[in-house]
């Protein structure tokens, strides 16, 4: 699998969009590396977001 870091043409496949959020809704912008915990079934998306909001332990 290529990344935009090694192959700029990959950026053409990026998903972009807009969603409306509640003013106090948690959200995070993550790199593909940050999602590795999901790929390896170490945590769910909800758990990852919760950890991102809490910050380092």
pLDDT tens string 20-53:
888 888 777 877 788 888 889 999 988 988 888 8
Contact present, 21 and 28 (Cβ < 8 Å) = no
Question: Pick from 17, 50, 52, 16: which is nearest to 34 by CA?
Answer: 52
**pTM, to two decimals:** 0.53
| Res 13 pLDDT > 90 | no
Check residue 2 and give its pLDDT: 65
């Amino acid at each position: 699998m290529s990344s935009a870091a090694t192959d700029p043409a990959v950026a053409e496949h990026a998903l972009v969009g807009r969603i409306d959020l509640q003013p106090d809704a948690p959200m995070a912008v993550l790199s593909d590396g940050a999602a590795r915990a999901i790929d390896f079934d170490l945590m769910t998306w909800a758990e990852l977001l919760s950890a991102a909001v809490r910050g380092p332990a």
